Amino acid sequence: MSADFAAVDWGTSSFRLWLMQADGAVLAQSRGPEGMQHCHGVGFAPVLASHLAKAGAPAGLPVLICGMAGARQGWAEVAYADLPALVADIAANALKLPGALLQGLGEERDVRILPGLAQNDPARPDVMRGEETQLLGLAQMGHQGLACIPGTHSKWAMLEDGAVTSMRSAMTGELFDILSKQSILRHGMPLQGRVSADDAAFLNAVDEMLADPAAALTSLFPLRAAGLLGFATPEAVQARLSGLLIGAEIGKMLAGHECGPIMLIGQEGLGALYRAALLRAGVSLRYADAEEASRQGLLAAARKIWSF
């Protein structure tokens, strides 16, 4: 058994590599915190070389990468592919890295980076880099309908007949982070601590926002007042902030949604909060593993590119 290619998901703050066969079997893997931000200092090629060696990749094994390595601030900018997009579209728009960029890799290899997707519509502009591979992986597996990927910038996308046909992003995770750490709300928040999906303060806030997503912005200052007036502990303020933001996002994203099931990609950490909030909204959920979806998308694109 030998690998047919190396699949890499190279994010802003993480790196994951799998040695894969054309039938989808994973023979080895290597992962680390060397995301795009890390590589600005040390370069991208040495990081890739080190993970290929760690996974025991044979000489000459081709590499297919998705994610922020293809951003303007990444290894090499790969122009976005437009919606609607099939696996064939991202495969056709992959960038084969020129030799000059491969110095530091230690040997010659065929290294390609997949494009992100752009919704080139001035009325609802949107972009993603990395998540498209997960979405197209799911589409390959036959999923239709709305999919949700929680994250710093959560992604909602419509999958139809193997293609991503529309998308919407929300910077909910980042908002939670900067409100918790940079705004006046930081004075009433715990220094540590994670929000739990069964916390009543989280779920109550979700319920309120599902009923009235327009109330989110005007519910923020009262979090500070609730702390000052002794109505809420720092932990409850933190949980309520999370519930307000996630609840308002879901309330808005589901407006106009018909009753089909939603595919939730990733159930750990933030995904567990989205799962609880989506269930609170009464939608029917299906679940996918984020890494498995990513590998399926990379595999499908690799098959198109190298015809195996």
Binding of residue 231 to a second copy (CB under 8 A): yes
Identify the residue among 25, 79, 92, 228 touching a second copy (CB under 8 A).
228
- Alpha-carbon distance of 202 to 244, in angstroms, equals 8
Binding of residue 212 to a second copy (CB under 8 A): yes
Binding of residue 218 to a second copy (CB under 8 A): yes
Residues 270-299 binding a second copy (CB under 8 A) are none
**Closest distance between a second copy and the C-beta of residue 289, in Å?**
25
Binding of residue 226 to a second copy (CB under 8 A): yes
**Closest distance between a second copy and the C-beta of residue 120, in Å?**
6
**Closest distance between a second copy and the C-beta of residue 111, in Å?**
24
Nearer to a second copy, 185 or 298 (CB): 185
Identify the residue among 59, 191, 229, 259 touching a second copy (CB under 8 A).
229
Identify the residue among 188, 251, 266, 297 touching a second copy (CB under 8 A).
251
273, 199 Cβ separation under 8 angstroms? no
Q: What is the separation of C-alpha 113 from the centre of its chain, rounded to a whole number of angstroms?
A: 17
**Closest distance between a second copy and the C-beta of residue 170, in Å?**
5
Q: What is the separation of C-alpha 242 from the centre of its chain, rounded to a whole number of angstroms?
A: 18
- Alpha-carbon distance of 174 to 249, in angstroms, equals 13
- Alpha-carbon distance of 43 to 49, in angstroms, equals 11
CA distances (Å), origin 99, targets 36, 105, 109:
20, 10, 9
Nearer to a second copy, 100 or 255 (CB): 255
**Closest distance between a second copy and the C-beta of residue 106, in Å?**
33
The DSSP H or E segment spanning 146 is: strand 145-149
Q: Binding string, 158-197, against a second copy, x = CB under 8 A? A: ----------xxxxx-xx--xx--xxx-------------
Binding of residue 248 to a second copy (CB under 8 A): yes
Kindly give, in sequence order, each residue whose CB lies less than 8 Å from that of residue 147, ignoring residues fewer than 6 positions away: 135, 138, 156, 157, 158, 159, 262, 263, 264, 265, 288
**Closest distance between a second copy and the C-beta of residue 215, in Å?**
6
DSSP class of residue 232?
S
185, 237 Cβ separation under 8 angstroms? yes
Nearer to a second copy, 179 or 301 (CB): 179
Residues 107-146 binding a second copy (CB under 8 A) are 118-120, 122, 124-127
SS3 content of the chain, % helix, strand, coil (to 5): 45, 20, 35
The dihedral over CA atoms of 20, 23, 24, 28, expressed in degrees to the nearest 10, equals -30
Tokens of 80: 């976005």
For the chain, the distance separating the N- and C-terminal CA atoms, rounded to the nearest angstrom, is 15
Residues in the interface with a second copy (CB under 8 A) total 45
Question: Which one of the spans 28-36, 59-67, 249-257, 270-278 is the region binding a second copy (CB under 8 A)?
Answer: 249-257
**Closest distance between a second copy and the C-beta of residue 292, in Å?**
26
Q: For binding to a second copy (CB under 8 A), which residues are involved?
A: 80, 118-120, 122, 124-127, 153, 168-172, 174-175, 178-179, 182-184, 212-218, 220-222, 224-226, 228-229, 231, 245, 248-249, 251-253, 255
